[in-house]
Amino acid sequence: MKYLFATSNASKFNEISEIFNDIGLELEHCEIEIEELQSDSFEEIALHSARKAYEQLGKPVFVEDAGISVDSLEGFPGPFTKYVFYTIGIAGLLKLLEGVSDRKAEYTSVLAYTDGNQEKVFKGSCRGSIAREYRGDGGWGWDPVFIPEGEDFTFGENYSSKKEHSHRSKSARALADWLKTNG
């Protein structure tokens, strides 16, 4: 059985697909337009999007909402990460953090699944910090500036480590394990 992942982000699909493949599950990319709920809750956004995707597809589906939250910016950008990335980008975030010594941050991934009757939410997080400059050209999104806790590299410098450490790998493994038992 193939599981539907509704996302317009091919990089997200590739990351989660690789994790599913490792567990022996097939993933199908479903690119549909879903109006994103504006909220300060990753869970609320993901559940709303999963419901909307199910309405369009009429099949079991899951979606992801993810973002990076910087402690010294009181959790900003959080659920507004995509907007911030496409407006001020990494350079803008680094500018906001100029002169800031506390660069701790957390990547969060929330996967919401629905089959029309049952809804499940799977959350993964990865603590770390924001580098002072771009480091590495691997990965995508914030990877060149995110240093996982306990490491000295960014995901941009060591993209293969993302599969082990990342927020997305944790939420995807939890969903895949649940689907193997319940799907």
CATH of the domain at 159: 3.90.950.10
Residue type, 24: G
For the entire predicted model, the pTM comes to 0.93
Q: Which domain holds residue 139?
A: 2-182
Kindly indicate the confidence band of residue 133, based on its pLDDT and cuts at 50, 70 and 90.
very high
Kindly indicate the confidence band of residue 178, based on its pLDDT and cuts at 50, 70 and 90.
very high
Residue whose tokens read 């999007």: 49
Residues 24, 123, 58, 9, Cα dihedral to 10°: -80
Number of domains in the chain: 1
> Do the bridges between strand 146-148 and strand 104-114 make them parallel or antiparallel, or are there none, so unpaired?
unpaired
Cβ contacts of 152 within 8 Å, gap of 6 or more: none
Q: Is 89 left (phi over 0), alpha (psi -120 to 50) or beta?
A: left
Kindly indicate the confidence band of residue 174, based on its pLDDT and cuts at 50, 70 and 90.
very high
Choosing from 22, 65, 71, 143, which is the catalytic residue?
65
* 65 classed as catalytic: yes
Give the Cα separation of 24 and 44 in Å (integer).
29
